[in-house]
Chain A
Amino acid sequence: RKEVEQDPGPFNVPEGATVAFNCTYSNSASQSFFWYRQDCRKEPKLLMSVYSSGNEDGRFTAQLNRASQYISLLIRDSKLSDSATYLCVVISGGYNKLIFGAGTRLAVHP
């Protein structure tokens, strides 16, 4: 079983749609959780951290369920510029080791 698993995608949605990505992780001792965004042929960039209480940044909402070892990302009012691959990331163990999921590709069309 992979340490971090994500929805297979791709998700093709119209502008203005709401889309949700899911992610599960296998190590119950994982400490920190993030969503990174990666544009085509570019490097990953931090989108947002994920906190136990849930957190929101504009149109983006992240949720964490430690009991179910599940992370989600909700994007409201999708924009064309949201088209990218979204990587679920978990920190397990010491030394800030990031473990990435395979990513979910989002394509927003007019």
Chain B
Amino acid sequence: EAGVAQSPRYKIIEKRQSVAFWCNPISGHATLYWYQQILGQGPKLLIQFQNNGVVDDSQLPKDRFSAERLKGVDSTLKIQPAKLEDSAVYLCASSPLDRTGDYEQYFGPGTRLTVT
């Protein structure tokens, strides 16, 4: 079974520039998550989709971050404009959330963003 795919793996941009990340979840997984992991910290949830609807975006800085999941499959996360403090690894995860309550989230390899 193919895992969660993310691209690009690395990105370096200057502050005030824009950047977009792409995620393709495991086939059939209804739930998709974007996390931000700053060096030395645990992942922090930015946004959660159930199919193509948002169920939690309480920690998404909406003045600069946006995300969409068209057709309930792939997702993109955008930052515009980027700040130095956005330097982090952006992790995408997916979960089947089946009837038995399988809560395991499967993570992609992440995109390492450096803002200079």
Contacts and interface: CB of A to CB of B under 8 A. Distances in A.
Q: Do A and B bind each other?
A: yes
B42 interface: yes
B42 A43 contact: no
Interface in B14-55: 31, 33, 40-45, 48, 50, 55
A95 B108 CA distance: 20
Interface in B97-113: 97, 103-105, 107-110
A85 B80 CA distance: 31
B44 A95 contact: no
B58 to A, nearest CB: 9
A46 B44 CA distance: 16
Contacts of A101: 42
Chain A residues touching B, range: 20 to 34
A97 B40 contact: no
Interface string A81-106: 00000010001001111111111000
The size bracket of the interface on B is 20 to 34
B91 interface: yes
B43 A96 contact: no
B75 interface: no
Contact of B109 (A32, A34, A42, A91): A42
A100 B109 contact: no
B45 A97 contact: yes
Contact of B95 (A96, A99, A100, A103): A96
A46 B104 CA distance: 7
A44 interface: yes
B42 A91 contact: no
A59 interface: no
A109 interface: no
Contacts of A34: 103
B82 to A, nearest CB: 21
Given A44-B43, A87-B42, A97-B56, 12 more contacts: A42-B109, A43-B91, A43-B107, A43-B109, A43-B110, A46-B104, A91-B103, A95-B55, A96-B95, A96-B97, A96-B105, A100-B42
